[in-house]
Structure 1
Amino acid sequence: MIARATTRVFVAGHRGMVGSALVRHLQALGYEDILTATRSELDLTDQAAVQAFFRRHPIDQVYLAAAKVGGIHANNTYPADFIHDNLLIQANVIGAAHRAGVRKLLFLGSSCIYPKLAPQPMREDALLTGTLEATNEPYAIAKIAGIKLCESYNRQHGRDYRSVMPTNLYGPHDNYHPDNSHVIPALLRRFHEAVQGGEPEVAVWGSGRPMREFLHVDDMASACVHVMELDEATWRAATQPMLSHVNVGTGQDCTIRELAETVARVTGFEGRVVFDASKPDGTPRKLLDVSRLRGLGWEASIGLDEGLRDAYAWFRANAQQARAA
Structure 2
Amino acid sequence: MKSTVIAAAAALALVALPGLAQAQSIKDSPELYPGEKALYDAAAKEGLVVSFDTGPTWANWAAQFAAFKRRYPEVEMTYNDLGSAATVVALDKAKNRPQADTAYYFAASAVDAANKGLVADFKPVNFEKLPEVFRHPQGQWFTIHSLTIAFVVNKKLVKNVPESWADLLKPEYKNTVIYLDPRSAGIGQVMTFAMAYGNGGDMDNVQPGIDYIGKLHKAGNVLRVLGTTPYAQFLKGEIPIWIAYENDGLKAKHIDGLGDDVAVVIPKEASAAAPYGISLVKNGPNPNAGKLWLNFTMTEMGQGIFAQGFVRPSVPGVKLPDNVADKLPASPQVKPLDVVKAAAKKAEIDAGYAKAIAN
Q: Common fold, TM-score beyond 0.5? A: no
RCO higher in structure (CA 8 A, sep ≥6): 2
TM-score normalized with structure 1 length:
0.34
TM-score normalized with structure 2 length:
0.32
